[in-house]
A and B are shown apart, each in its own frame.
Chain A
């Protein structure tokens, strides 16, 4: 409730002023994103392809998206309920991907039956 009360005095434009997105934050975020990409390369060249390596890449992608959405797209500074409404559907996508990884080979079994 603090958020909505707080926003009452603000107009819809420029609500982000004074929320700490400044040049330093931007460059630090750029450094973090570049470093994470370099970590990707380190795993790519030093580890053999395997499911655990794939999971590391996906986890790094999710960390990168946290910084892009949170800092660059300003989601960290928005009203929490807005962030929740926009981000919740991504939980469904993750659920779909998990279900397909767990049950995905059923497709080849069905194909085998048909043939």
Chain B
């Protein structure tokens, strides 16, 4: 092997350093995020196929602005997209506080890192609370119920088999896609809390670098990235 090293002493592949100039942990986080992106893509592709194929069926696929048009404390008002846009801004903003925490970590400023991690956790919890409200609204349904009858009865709200909005696949896909994304947000909040406690305890000062913030930051931004597409496919299109 020594000959090949002698041939090109400057090669990044000689060993002793990362050829991609990233640590093992960060590279593996990228690989994990890539595999996770495949999972989310497959779910969104399934959504697209189901919606496309439902075009000729009796029960039409619902318009998102007719389903998601509620806002807390404002009963009976038709407010499409308002609540979900608030959720979008909460998540984008928590992404900003996360990247500010990464920036503070590069400066090794412990108090700044702790502050921004705390704000990120608050943003994540706020987003999850919004999603819980959205789900309960979706499951409870409207007073009027469905415009079509099943066994001579109107349907109120949604479950896995029937829903008042449209085909069963609509509610099923809503639950799996937003639920899977919400579960990612929940795991992200848990990870952020662990990192936050470590920051407070001074673990990363002892370690000499704040690279853990970057790793958990990658995950958090990925959750934001997925929401951009869930938002596009479920609420806009």
Q: Is the CB of A8 within 8 A of B17?
A: yes
Contact of A65 among B22, B52, B225, B237 (CB under 8 A): B225
Q: Check if A105 is an interface residue, CB within 8 A of chain B.
A: yes
Closest to A104 in B: B52
Q: Give the docked Cα–Cα distance between A64 and B92 (Å).
A: 11
Q: Give the docked Cα–Cα distance between A84 and B107 (Å).
A: 29
Q: Give the docked Cα–Cα distance between A49 and B80 (Å).
A: 14
CB-defined contacts of A107 to chain B, threshold 8 Å: 49, 53
At the interface, is chain B mostly helix, strand, loop or mixed? helix
The residue in A30, A64, A68, A97 that gathers the most chain B C-beta atoms within 10 A of its C-beta is A68
Q: Is the CB of B106 within 8 A of A7?
A: no
Interface range, B side: 35 or more
Q: Is the CB of B23 within 8 A of A90?
A: no
CB distance from A27 to the nearest CB of B (A): 8
Q: How many A-B residue pairs have CB under 8 A?
A: 140
CB-defined contacts of A27 to chain B, threshold 8 Å: 96
Q: List residues of A whose CB falls within 8 A of some B CB.
A: 3-5, 7-8, 10, 12-17, 21-23, 26-27, 29-30, 33-34, 37, 40-41, 44-45, 49, 53-54, 57-58, 60-61, 64-65, 68-69, 71-74, 78-79, 81-82, 86, 89-90, 93, 96-97, 100-101, 104-105, 107-108, 111
Q: List residues of B whose CB falls within 8 A of some A CB.
A: 10-12, 17-24, 27, 30, 34, 37-38, 41, 45, 48-49, 52-53, 56, 63, 65, 81, 85, 88-89, 92-93, 95-96, 98-100, 102-103, 106, 209, 211, 214, 217-218, 221-222, 224-225, 228-229, 232, 236-237
